[in-house]
């Protein structure tokens, strides 16, 4: 009994974000997700450059994943609660990304400075009932906005809960397994503490071959990080 208690760990409430970020920080997994969303068939992982700003935190906020492929810059974020402020958050984050990517001296040049076109996607698996996908716009936050906004930013949110976007989840096996893992934790948590729910979910997923290699390799860290 003493040995069991000594192995007891505490689960971070943001365990879903942690698993999502680590899963898709693997370029093979991230490329698979990108292909599934965009209907592309890239196979060379080196064509994808991860540029997530690990140390860039503005107002206590940072993005899960940022990457460049085919001259486009993508920001992927996982959310377990509905958040209409994602466009504003992404605006602050993309500004930091561009600051890193460009030579500040070039901003004063007479030559047009080319930057990768941004795209913003959120993956949602919260409890609140939501449609398959929806778009939030920065202009929705403007006070007394009239006519076309001079500055706009659109964020597309994709619902990855059970029963939503099934074709996408079928095309990206790792995303489907992530969604299964979260659903198992959620069901467990209805009858037990989150700590126990996650530990039991890890055991069950390994047994069923759901994220098996990832969870075996990261078991202690995923439960306690």
3 state SS for 142-204: CCCCCCCCCCCCEEEEEECCCCCCHHHHHHCHHHHHHHHHHHHHHHHHCCCCHHHHHHHHHHH
Per-residue pLDDT, averaged over 192-198, amounts to 89
- pLDDT computed for residue 54 by the predictor: 72
Check pLDDT > 90 for residue 90: yes
Per-residue pLDDT reduced to its tens digit, 122-165: 999 998 999 999 999 999 999 988 899 999 999 999 999 989 99
- pLDDT computed for residue 63 by the predictor: 76
Q: What percent of the chain has pLDDT over 90?
A: 65
The number of CA neighbours under 13 Å toward the Cβ of 130 is: 23
Check pLDDT > 70 for residue 222: no
- The neighbouring-strand residues paired with 69 are 72
Per-residue pLDDT, averaged over 78-104, amounts to 91
Domain boundaries, the chain: 10-167
Q: What is the pTM of this model?
A: 0.86
- Whether the CB-CB separation of 13 and 189 falls below 8 Å is answered with no
Check pLDDT > 70 for residue 15: no
Per-residue pLDDT reduced to its tens digit, 18-68: 889 999 999 999 999 999 999 999 999 999 999 988 765 545 556 789 999
The CA distance from 139 to 104, in Å, is 28
Say what angle helices 15-24 and 27-38 make with each other, to 10 degrees.
Answer: 90
Q: Which of 68, 65, 82, 73 is nearest to 20 (CA)?
A: 65
Phi/psi for 140 (5° steps) reads -65, -20
- pLDDT computed for residue 107 by the predictor: 87
Across the chain, mean pLDDT equals 87
């Amino acid at each position: 009994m003493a040995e069991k208690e000594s192995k007891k760990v505490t689960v971070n409430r943001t365990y879903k974000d942690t698993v999502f970020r680590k899963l898709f920080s693997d370029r093979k997994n991230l490329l698979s997700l990108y292909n599934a969303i965009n209907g592309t068939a890239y196979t060379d992982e080196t064509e994808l450059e991860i540029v997530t700003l690990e140390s860039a935190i503005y107002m206590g906020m940072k993005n899960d994943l940022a990457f460049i492929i085919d001259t486009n810059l993508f920001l992927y974020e996982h959310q377990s609660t509905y958040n209409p402020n994602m466009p504003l958050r992404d605006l602050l984050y993309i500004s930091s990304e561009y600051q890193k990517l460009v030579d500040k001296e070039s901003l004063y040049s007479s030559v047009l400075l080319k930057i990768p076109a941004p795209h913003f996607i959120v993956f949602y698996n919260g409890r609140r009932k939501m449609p398959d996908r929806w778009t939030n716009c920065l202009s929705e936050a403007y006070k007394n906005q009239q006519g076309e906004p001079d500055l706009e930013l659109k964020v597309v949110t994709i619902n990855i809960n059970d029963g939503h976007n099934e074709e996408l989840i079928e095309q990206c096996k790792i995303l489907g397994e992530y969604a299964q893992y979260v659903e198992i934790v959620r069901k467990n948590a209805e009858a037990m503490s989150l700590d126990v729910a996650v530990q039991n979910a890890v055991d069950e997923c390994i047994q069923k071959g759901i994220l098996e290699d990832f969870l075996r390799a990261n078991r202690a860290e995923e439960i306690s990080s």
